Amino acid sequence: MENVFKLKQDICDIGKRIYDRGYAAANDGNITVRIGENEVLCTPTMTCKGFLKVDDICTIDMTGKQLSGRKKRSSEALLHLEIMKKRPDVKSVVHCHPPHATAFAVAREPIPQCVLPEVEVFLGETPITKYETPGGKEFAETVLPFVEKTNVIILANHGTVSYGENVERAYWWTEILDSYCRILMLSKQLGNVEYLNQQKSQELLDLKEAWGWKDPRNTKEYEDCDICANDVFRESWNDTGVSRTAFDAPPAMSKTPDAPTAASAASNIDQEALVKAITDQVMQRLQANS
């Protein structure tokens, strides 16, 4: 039996953390926790997440209909419900507007991969949805192509949504993502972002799998992909308006990086022959003039 009062307290605690970190200005953001087959706790609309009270939290069903609560439920609850329907393992969803991750949402800039070990293990690749006006069914459905392959999604020109087995875990993914986006921006200001190589990136994916965490890049579907090249969600870029502008693509990483390709070997031979021919001509002229 779920302790509903305790779960409402947990929602209030996460709401305060979201507000205190600057992830939700004024009445931004919303939080849900599933408590039964057809019942979901939901934060109310037009209420600051930093000052939530237990009796502010309302209850809705899986269609979005409000079942109880003195305040009206969030208008964006449908987004949460679509995720829960697609992922029965998800018990909580957190939506907010963390500024650094939301900057990537506004710029439609894909999140670079293979930079920080913690991000590779805990997040993996992060998609960006296409834009739809918040609150409606079309907006809620923008996450559906990505929900099963990640636990955090960037909503174009809007913010982030993350989800997990409880409200704290759902919130974690957003905090990790925003911290990473801030580090990327600071690194860019310094002038350089160094990428992990193929071997080290694969080691992290193997470690992730050993810990029981799934990553699409470690499945047969993507076994021939470049781990660091945003391969999992790149096919969606044309529909979502995503493109690289601020961060260059990582260098292509061969699975045998030390082995020269046929083209590079031929190029080396051509260059050696050219150097030899020039050297021979110079030596002939020096001998003729001596």
Q: Which residues of 173-201 are buried (b: 16+ CB within 10 A; e: fewer)?
A: bbbbbbbbbeebeeeeeeeeeebbbbeeb
Residues of the chain with confidence (pLDDT) below 50:
254-269
Cβ atoms of 31 and 49 closer than 8 Å: yes
Chain length of the chain: 290
pLDDT at res. 1:
53
Cβ neighbours of residue 222 closer than 8 Å, sequence gap 6 or more: 216, 231, 232
pLDDT at res. 220:
84
> Would you call 76 a catalytic residue per the annotation?
yes
CA-based nearest residue to 39, from 8, 18, 71 = 8
pLDDT at res. 222:
85
Hey, what are 285's tokens?
A: 């002229």
Tell me how far apart the 2 most distant CA atoms of the chain are, in Å: 104
Hey, what are 3's tokens?
A: 């302790």
Cβ atoms of 75 and 58 closer than 8 Å: no
pLDDT at res. 69:
96
Domain assignments of the chain as residue spans, ordered by start: 4-190, 260-290
Q: Indicate which residue of 76, 82, 109, 120 is catalytic.
A: 76
- Secondary structure letter of residue 160 according to DSSP: E
Q: Which CATH number fits domain 4-190: 1.10.10.10, 1.10.275.10, 2.40.50.100, 3.40.225.10?
A: 3.40.225.10
β-partners of residue 159 are 155
Q: What is the pTM of this model?
A: 0.85
Query: What kind and span of H or E run contains 51?
Result: none
Residue-wise pLDDT tens digits, 160-216 = 999 999 999 999 999 999 999 999 999 999 999 999 998 999 999 999 999 888 899
Q: What is the dihedral of CA 83, 245, 233, 126, to 10 degrees?
A: -50
